[in-house]
Amino acid sequence: MILSAFFKALAQLPDRRFRRVLWRGIGLTIALLIGVYAGLLQLITWLIQEPISLPIVGEITWLGDLLGVGSFLMMIVLSIFLMVPVASAITSLFLDEVAQAVEDKHFPHLPDVPGISFGDGLRDTVNFLGVLLGANILAFGLYLALPFAAVFIFYGLNGYLLGQEYFQLAAMRRIGRDAAREMRKKHRGKIWLAGCLMAVPLSFPLINLVIPILGAATFTHLYHQINQR
């Protein structure tokens, strides 16, 4: 069931609507990271408006430049870690479009749904981003404490989070948020395994940016397979 859903989703990746969601998500992610960096530079400029004088050393005029270079290097490093979770969260704003594309192709007999409102989508995106970032930051402590199990912790944690998010998205389009939550709890083992399958490509640069779309498509198939039983 899980593999068939995955391969059907994989086969539909060239879909024009899938590509549109991908580029939209990546573009907004890059814009957000640039905006954060610009805000950080403005903060540094505001904090260091005049040269700092120290005893013996005298005036320090290069501190702003040093902090500017340091902040740029810090953003480069952070972007490596933040690109995937931020892109995943932002792209989730548009995943209703991916689910609709899957249903149009594989389930054309289904009645139309109104779709998720922008407000609900934004709320879910902010919640998902917070949980995803918070959980992965906390997991760094486990990675250091249990380095031999770091790979399993990473896949298990992100598989759980991705599975919860994308199944909820697929199900609540058809049956509402509360019913989707109940179905998710009932099939949590299967959903977690499917999420782990999504988490494996997170280790591969560039490929990992496709995971939100592939995940939404896979879990749309999985929801309908479970619902038809």
- Residue 197: is its pLDDT beyond 70? yes
Distance, in Å, from the CA atom of 23 to the CA atom of 5, rounded to the nearest integer, reads: 23
Distance, in Å, from the CA atom of 47 to the CA atom of 23, rounded to the nearest integer, reads: 36
What is the number of other CB atoms lying within 10 angstroms of the CB of residue 171?
A: 27
Domain count of the fold of the chain: 1
At 22-72, the pLDDT tens digits run 788 777 777 776 776 677 666 656 655 555 454 454 444 544 554 555 555
Distance, in Å, from the CA atom of 145 to the CA atom of 56, rounded to the nearest integer, reads: 44
At 222 the pLDDT is 92
At 119-159, the pLDDT tens digits run 776 777 777 777 877 887 788 788 888 888 888 888 888 88
At 73-117, the pLDDT tens digits run 665 555 555 655 666 666 667 778 888 899 999 988 888 877 666
Q: What is the pTM of this model?
A: 0.73
Give residue 96's domain range.
2-227
Higher-pLDDT residue of 199 and 190 is 190
Nearest to 170 by CA among 214, 136, 200, 108: 214
